[in-house]
Chains A and B, each alone.
Chain A
Amino acid sequence: MPVDKSQIIEKESVTVEGIELTADWNRMFEQRVVFDYDTDALDKVTDLANAESMGWCYQCGQCIPVCPVDAVGEYGPLKIFRKLQQGQDLFNHDDLWKCTTCMNCLRVCPKEVDMIKIMPAIREEAVLEANVPQELQEVFENTFEYGNPMGESQRKRADWIKDAGVDVPIMKEIKRKVDFLWFVECYPAYHGRGQEASRALARVMNLLNLDYGILGTEEKCSCDSQRLAGETGLFEEFAEHNIGLFNKYKVKKVMVTDPHALNAFRKEYPKLGGKFETIHYTTMLAPLMEQLNFTKKLNYKVTFHDPCYLGRHNGEFDAPRNCLTAIPGIELIEMGRCREQSYCCGGGGGGMWLDGFMADHVTERLSENRVREAVETGADVLAVCCPYEVSRFEDAIKSTGNEGKLIVRDIIELIEEAL
């Protein structure tokens, strides 16, 4: 019988019911004929509150070319829908964890199939069943125990201010109302590169004489990415903690470094009683740029990566660009996929903590795909303003062999460099 070679699945090794098989045993044929469309799998999803729209797909396919995961693998709402229609149990499938909730599909979807609601709804069920990739589970546990995904000590959350060189007011200590609260968030508080950006931001705000305070060791993770990865319970617990602090310090306005915190504060905290204004640090600084006395001209060609949760999710595209173009000497070169169409770094929706898992499902990391695009623009600097991105893109520059061609800088670091 003639064999259609495209139907052969051949693997180096496979494990079947705990037994590892090698060599000839691994040649398999995919079942070709569809014998059933078991609607139970799809019904199980669409019966879930907030996941109803999964069943609305009419297969126009517009989501696929804009899905950042499909660009490096096989994914996207249409494909998820079709697999559900064939009876695939998404609650127990790796596909459940591949979505970064970047919102590019929803942007183009005529039927408003909303993965931003669908994914957390299904993942929440999987979390309740303890059916979560191990590396993500560890992050949930770290967050629960230490208040941050890295498992760093809560007591050290404000340690970064020691080397800031300027006074960083802590609410608990200053005991007065401030114009706004700076919610520092975990990576800017603990991660080496995040701390550098935090210190730069503190120094720039000092120059601008802004009246702010931070929560210091009282602050806990905003948990938005944990929420989107399915940990609703953890999110709500931490949200109540943070809202309690905002209320205690009579906070009316919050500035965030992290667009994921911005998203949580704007869209989720109000449901839990947190009523206050939130803006991103670039939104805060953009109108103040002319008050800064720049002393240096930075002769950089800079390209800017729009964070999904600042741009698409919360509509801020101009402030980061206004900050950048106000810096003397900087030439801004846009990547093809920018603003609303921006590519995703891979860090959202839990992706930050699923790199190991994702490696089995993609031909390259999303951050690598993005770095290659940035290099193609001829830029020297990839500017970012989301704390997930510095480390992701710096790793990707190394792994794609682009060291020496491109550096990654937070916008605040570039601002400070020119002062």
Chain B
Amino acid sequence: MANQNVLIIGGGVAGIEAAKGIADLGYKAILVEKRDRLGGNPDEQQYSVLTPDRRDASEALSDMMAPILDNENVDLMYNTIVTGASGSVGNFKVKAVSMGKEVEIEAGAVIVATGFSHFDPGRETQKYGYYEHDDVLTLTDAEKLLKEHKFVRPSNGEVPKRICFIQCVGSRDRQIGNEYCSKVCCGISSQQAIEVREQVPDCKVYIFYIDMRMYGYWENEIYWPAQEEFKVNYIKGIATEIVKKGDRLLVKGEDTTLRRPMEVEMDMVILAVGMEPSEGTKKMAEYFGLKQNKYNFIETIGGPLDTVSTTVPGVYAAGACTGPADLEDTVSAAGLAAMKALGSIRRNGNA
């Protein structure tokens, strides 16, 4: 008899949604999370609002996780790190360290939902001086400031008069190795730009970009309002370097529509860092023997028509552990993974 339980690794948005799906269908979900709370990157990195609906991130996540917090069909295991795996569909045995103790979890199917990590702009080239200048931030740093409604210059605590975003940091870059587009950063930057204009109305905001990638409704829901209502200035042409000038930052680049160099002073520079596979994602691929793509994300094998099946039967991957994903992609994939995981168990049990 196959084990009827589904193990979900990772308590972020994908893991929460998958657990909800499994529980709703009347099966048992075992959700393991390395931290002592759910919520994944949006919680850990203290996102201010969700994209694109701009709902308060903490509130939205609380609502989302409420159905699984006190649910007899969901076993929540916090402070739990998976350390190894064996077995096959219908009968996985997964080793973990939970609350400091070694445990073994049995499950019929597994959903990997270990997500992404934000690109470290100091990795590889360090061309923007992230670790050199206090006022050079990443999108995640800016999220925290916006969440606290304290959008000030880290160097001196002053309210900035002009800031800029630099797009595609750590994405679309052969030298760094991340050739892919991280998909969400154009939208996140534009949305943060709106928040800055709301919180600090006198602050001028510029976005330096290669091409704005605002697919679907993000175009009209984020990009257009940012430009039209909030008067965010979009300058085509990416900045190449940042140098200190007095107590400001001199951003140097090429304005590609004017075909002229630009050297503009900014109080803060926000680097639109992209997505990379998290450590957990890489480890799960290793433990379960899942094929990874050249960027170390977990490879799904169904092309565009199956976004969650991996090279190992019974193991599914959902969300940003398979590649850059927005929240909409993530919850959609999580629901699909829950369904396919239970499908594999039922097929196996009937065989």
Partner-B contacts on A (CB < 8 A): 32-37, 39, 42-43, 46, 52-53, 55-56, 58-59, 82, 85-86, 111
Contacts and interface: CB of A to CB of B under 8 A. Distances in A.
Contact of B262 (A33, A39, A52, A56): A33
B86 interface: no
B260 A85 contact: no
Contact of B235 (A32, A37, A42): A37
Contacts of B206: 37
Interface string B191-230: 0000000000000101000001000000000011001100
A180 to B, nearest CB: 43
A36 B164 CA distance: 12
Given A39-B204, A56-B228, A34 B236 contact: no
Contact of A34 (B223, B224, B234, B262): B262
Nearest to A38: B204
Nearest to A56: B228
A55 B227 contact: yes
A250 B302 CA distance: 74
A153 to B, nearest CB: 49
A56 B227 contact: yes
Given A39-B204, A56-B227, A56-B228, A34 B233 contact: no
Q: How large is the interface on B (under 10, 10 to 19, 20 to 34, 35 or more residues)?
A: 20 to 34
A43 B231 contact: yes
A32 B227 CA distance: 26
Nearest to A86: B258
Contacts of B228: 52-53, 55-56
Given A55-B227, A56-B227, A33 B260 contact: yes
Nearest to A31: B260
B255 interface: yes
Interface string B246-281: 000000000101101111110000000000000000
13 contacts: A32-B261, A34-B255, A34-B260, A34-B262, A35-B262, A35-B263, A37-B264, A55-B231, A56-B227, A56-B228, A58-B227, A58-B234, A85-B233
A36 B233 contact: no
Given A35-B262, A53-B228, 8 more contacts: A35-B263, A35-B264, A39-B204, A39-B231, A42-B231, A46-B231, A56-B224, A86-B258
Nearest to B204: A39
Interface in B137-193: none
A111 B223 CA distance: 12
A49 to B, nearest CB: 15
Nearest to B206: A37
A46 B232 CA distance: 12
A56 B264 CA distance: 22
A330 B262 CA distance: 58
Contacts of B227: 55-56, 58
Given A39-B231, A55-B231, A34 B257 contact: no
B82 to A, nearest CB: 46
Contacts of A34: 255, 258, 260-264
B231 A36 contact: no
Contacts of B257: 59, 82
A43 B234 CA distance: 14
B261 A33 contact: yes
Interface string B37-73: 0000000000000000000000000000000000000
Contacts of B260: 32-34
B231 A82 contact: no
Contacts of A42: 231, 233
Nearest to B253: A34
A43 B233 CA distance: 11
A82 B264 contact: no
Nearest to A36: B264
B127 to A, nearest CB: 20
A55 B228 CA distance: 6
Interface string B296-333: 00000000000000000000000000000000000000
A43 B201 CA distance: 13
A81 to B, nearest CB: 10
Nearest to B214: A58
A46 B229 CA distance: 10
A59 B236 contact: yes
Which 10 pairs across A and B sit closest by C-beta, in order of nearness? A34-B262, A33-B261, A56-B228, A39-B204, A34-B260, A33-B263, A34-B255, A32-B260, A35-B263, A36-B264
Nearest to B252: A33
Contacts of A43: 231
A140 to B, nearest CB: 33
B264 A85 contact: no
Nearest to B261: A33
Interface string B121-146: 00000000000000000000000000
